[in-house]
Amino acid sequence: MLVDIVDDELGRVTYDFVLPEEVEKIVDEHIVNRAPIEKRKAKPYYNTFVDQQMRVVMTGCGQIDPRVLMPI
């Protein structure tokens, strides 16, 4: 699984091959403690691969703003 965390101060950080059991650590370290986990960040190959793609149909897919509550 890919996890992108976008922050006004830290910018965008992508973690790749994230397992469910790693999510809590990423939240604690990156979001709560404001310290990205350097050795878990996506390697340069990720940006090389993604930069060549263009989303057309699902432009906003996977972008969640945690400040916006969704109606139930």
How do residues 24-67 score in pLDDT, each as one tens digit?
A: 999 999 999 999 999 999 888 887 777 777 766 666 666 667 77
Q: Would 69 be classed as within a structural domain?
A: no
Q: Would 38 be classed as within a structural domain?
A: yes
The end-to-end CA distance of the chain, in Å, is 26
C-alpha count within 13 angstroms, C-beta hemisphere, residue 44: 0
Q: Would 33 be classed as within a structural domain?
A: yes
Q: How many domains does the chain have?
A: 1
Q: Would 62 be classed as within a structural domain?
A: no
- Residue range(s) defining the domain that contains residue 41: 3-50
Q: What pLDDT is stored for residue 12 in this prediction?
A: 87
**Farthest CA pair distance, the chain:** 39
- Residue 71 pLDDT > 60, yes or no? no
Q: Would 41 be classed as within a structural domain?
A: yes
Q: Would 13 be classed as within a structural domain?
A: yes
Structure tokens at 14: 């992508």
In this structure, the chain runs to a length of 72
Distance of alpha carbon 44 from alpha carbon 32, whole angstroms: 25
Q: Is 30 left (phi over 0), alpha (psi -120 to 50) or beta?
A: alpha
Q: Would 7 be classed as within a structural domain?
A: yes
Mean pLDDT across 15-31: 93
12 or 55, greater pLDDT: 12
